[in-house]
Amino acid sequence: MPHILQIDASARPGIAGTDKHGSHSRHLTQRFVSQWQSGRPHDTLTYRDIGQNPPSFISHDWIASAFTPEDQREPWMKDALAESDLLVDELIAADIVVIGAPLYNFGMPAALKAWIDQVIRLGRTIDFDDTNPIDPPIPMLTDRSRHAVILSARGSIGFDPGREMAHMNHLEPNLATALGFIGITRLHYIAIEGQEAGGELLANSVAEAIGKVEALVDKLQMSLETTPISEPA
């Protein structure tokens, strides 16, 4: 039975179209999850709102603890990694990671970067060959076919690959690098653009994105009928 991890990173707590100054990325994640659950009501969900409850930034204590072998950690080190362990457990349990991520100043929100820093963990999501330290790192989330759905919102237009502002979009490429580093390489991207312009331009972009979300849900659910997700070991 597939498990979904839904992450909302927008600083706006409301949902566009429902709340004043609501979030367009939250609108997309809500649409994805609600449609998924309507088609597969028995699939499970974990929800984490990092936009309203940001993860902690990594600290000196975190670094010292994360790079100490588990069997050598002192009690305070386990405390320093408790939040990270919880977030990593949520990620490992997920078959589909749905991330609502607005484009803030050409990159990801600070809360989402903090989440990334918490879940890229030596010995948990990434590893190295101690016998040959110059070898590439070993991603640890390759035990089954996980998907990541990146649902973003942008104030301006032209940030898609091949468009005039693509070179200034460091959100999706950064997420692709971070998620691929730990073994999540099946990535799907849908974005709303034109929030600053508003009007018909924004309305058309919202409608197009909603259509893409609905099509992606149908595609992924159909793929499960032919290739069921393997149960975690």
59 annotated as a binding-site residue: no
How many Cβ atoms from other residues are within 10 Å of residue 74's Cβ? 11
25 annotated as a binding-site residue: yes
167 annotated as a binding-site residue: no
Strand, coil or helix: 152: strand
218-222 — which CB contacts under 8 Å span 24+ positions? 218/39, 220/96, 220/147, 221/36, 221/39, 221/40
> Nearest Cα to 95, choosing from 159, 20, 169, 43?
43
Residue 91, classified by CB atoms within 10 Å of its CB into exposed (0-12), middle (13-18) or buried (19+), is buried
Q: Detail the residues annotated as belonging to a binding site.
A: 10, 23-25
Q: Detail the residues annotated as belonging to a binding site for FMN.
A: 10, 23-25
